[in-house]
């Protein structure tokens, strides 16, 4: 499963802290998605994460695991 989403510089720390857990519940209402997944690969378009008012795209490649 592949998910791309926007992250603001203000939310960067909170989001990356969650991603460091590596396995988590994924719920995306627009895609009717509700599963448990582990990150197999991820990247971000951020070049300077500490500049205010910046928005980058996170790209996650996930492997679904049993709940």
Q: Please, which pLDDT band fits residue 67 given cuts at 50, 70 and 90?
A: low
Predicted structure pTM score: 0.79
Give the per-residue pLDDT at 65: 93
Domain that holds residue 32: 2-65
Give the per-residue pLDDT at 66: 81
Beta pairing, strands 2-8 & 23-28: unpaired
* End-to-end CA separation in angstroms for the chain: 16
- The total number of structural domains that make up the chain: 1
- Residues 20-58 pLDDT 10s: 999 999 888 888 889 999 999 999 887 777 788 889 999
Let me know the angle formed at the C-alpha of 20 by 16 and 40, rounded to the nearest 5 degrees. Answer: 105
């Amino acid at each position: 499963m592949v998910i791309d989403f926007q992250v603001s510089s203000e939310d960067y720390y909170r989001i990356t802290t969650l991603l460091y857990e590596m396995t988590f519940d994924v719920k995306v209402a627009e895609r009717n998605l509700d599963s448990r997944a582990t990150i197999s690969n991820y990247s971000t378009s951020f070049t300077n994460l500490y500049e205010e008012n910046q928005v980058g795209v996170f790209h996650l490649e996930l492997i679904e695991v049993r709940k």
